[in-house]
């Protein structure tokens, strides 16, 4: 799916007052930088290697999404549901993850430097992995 196709789905859903449905969408490698995806249902979506730099994903449902190697630099992920998401090697540098649900998410090799994790749910996340992603030396 291209950015234009995704934006069309989002615009049509919002015009009808519905939640944009991008469940299980293949957006692997897509350039979605700066896209407004707030509140969208992206559960199970393939966003492997996608560029989501500066995207608005606040309140988005990303349960079980494949975000391996995705660029989420400066992304707004406030209150996003990332439970069970695969965030291995993702760039979350200075991402806003306040109140995000990261329960059971795989953060192996992710970069969380400067990320705002206030009130984020990190249950089920490996403490060593999270500390390493934050750049904390032990």
Predicted pLDDT at 131: 66
Q: What is the DSSP letter of 17?
A: T
CA distance 86 to 67: 5
- 1-138 adopts what CATH topology? Pectate Lyase C-like (2.160.20)
CA distance 13 to 60: 14
State both tokens at 118: 């206030």
Q: Which of 90, 94, 60 is nearest to 77 (CA)?
A: 60
Q: What is the DSSP letter of 129?
A: H
- Every domain of the chain and the residues it spans: 1-138
Predicted pLDDT at 123: 84
Predicted pLDDT at 63: 98
Q: What is the pTM of this model?
A: 0.91
Predicted pLDDT at 5: 93
Measured between alpha carbons, how far is residue 120 from residues 34, 48, 63 in Å?
A: 23, 23, 15
pLDDT along the chain (138 residues), means of 10: 92 95 97 96 98 98 98 98 96 96 92 92 74 61
CA distance 115 to 111: 9
Predicted pLDDT at 138: 43
């Amino acid at each position: 799916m291209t950015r234009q196709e995704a934006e069309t789905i989002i615009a049509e859903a919002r015009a009808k007052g519905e939640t944009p449905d991008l469940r299980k969408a293949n957006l692997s490698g897509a350039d979605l930088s700066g896209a407004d995806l707030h509140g969208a249902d992206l559960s199970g979506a393939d966003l492997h290697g996608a560029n989501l730099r500066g995207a608005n994903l606040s309140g988005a449902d990303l349960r079980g999404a494949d975000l391996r190697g995705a660029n989420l630099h400066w992304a707004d992920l406030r209150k996003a549901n990332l439970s069970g998401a695969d965030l291995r090697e993702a760039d979350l540098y200075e991402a806003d993850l306040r109140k995000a649900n990261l329960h059971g998410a795989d953060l192996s090799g992710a970069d969380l430097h400067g990320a705002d994790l206030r009130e984020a749910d990190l249950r089920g996340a490996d403490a060593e992995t999270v500390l390493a992603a934050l750049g904390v030396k032990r």
